[in-house]
Amino acid sequence: MKLLLISDAECKALWDYFQPERLNGISAIISCGDLKREYLEFLVTLGKLPLFYVPGNHDERYTVDPPGGCDCLDDTLTVFEGVRMIGFGGCKWYGGGTYQYTEKEMRKRVRKAHRAIKKAGGVDIVVTHAAMQGYGDAPDAAHQGFACFRELVDEWKPKFFVHGHMHGTYANIPRRLRYGETEVVNAFERYVIET
């Protein structure tokens, strides 16, 4: 199954110059946050594909006007065509905002998810906005990853850990990294993975 990952920057090829055949072979779209609600609604409508998302740190508007027709993965385990996905939106606290969390706050969210993961027999894809600490993150306060994400991956060993927040224009950050058995993928703008 092919999944289109998107995050942080609207892709002109998928919006301004949309052509349906660009989505041929794609089973679903996963947004890792910080994208306009209108963009997600456009893709889910014209792409005629399911779209799953977590909010980014700049998605405060989602609290009052979430993207229509899309499925929120935030703190939720969802199974799509046999693939178990769970999501954690937001980033590390760096000044305050609806989707900014301390390590302790995110750890509490992750801990609450363990029951659903155990009940599902594990998780295949962890979808986040922020990176995991030490893998695709940056040292500045706004872009540090969460240690509890690394602990989650250590325990459950998902096939993929996909995140946003790290724009390709910020630094020379690899698109894909390997952490044990897990492939860590930065979803910036657009990227396709195969499960």
Number of separate domains in the chain: 1
Q: pLDDT at position 171, please?
A: 63
Q: pLDDT at position 170, please?
A: 65
pLDDT tens, position by position, 82-105? 999 999 999 999 999 999 999 999
pTM above 0.85, yes or no: yes
Overall average pLDDT of the 48-61 stretch: 97
Q: pLDDT at position 169, please?
A: 66
90-96 contact pairs (CB < 8 A, 24+): 90/33, 90/54, 90/55, 90/56, 90/57, 90/129, 90/130, 91/56, 91/57, 91/129, 91/130, 91/142, 91/143, 91/165, 92/130, 92/141, 92/142, 92/143, 92/144, 92/145, 92/146, 94/141, 94/142, 95/142
Q: pLDDT at position 167, please?
A: 87
Q: pLDDT at position 143, please?
A: 94
- Give me the domain span that covers residue 37: 2-194
Overall average pLDDT of the 23-52 stretch: 97
CATH number for the domain spanning 145: value is: 3.60.21.10
- Structure tokens given for 86: 């769970």
Question: What percent of the chain lies above the pLDDT cut of 70?
Answer: 98
- Structure tokens given for 182: 């897990």
pLDDT tens, position by position, 149-189? 999 999 999 999 999 999 876 667 789 999 999 999 999 99
Q: pLDDT at position 57, please?
A: 97
Question: What percent of the chain lies above the pLDDT cut of 90?
Answer: 93
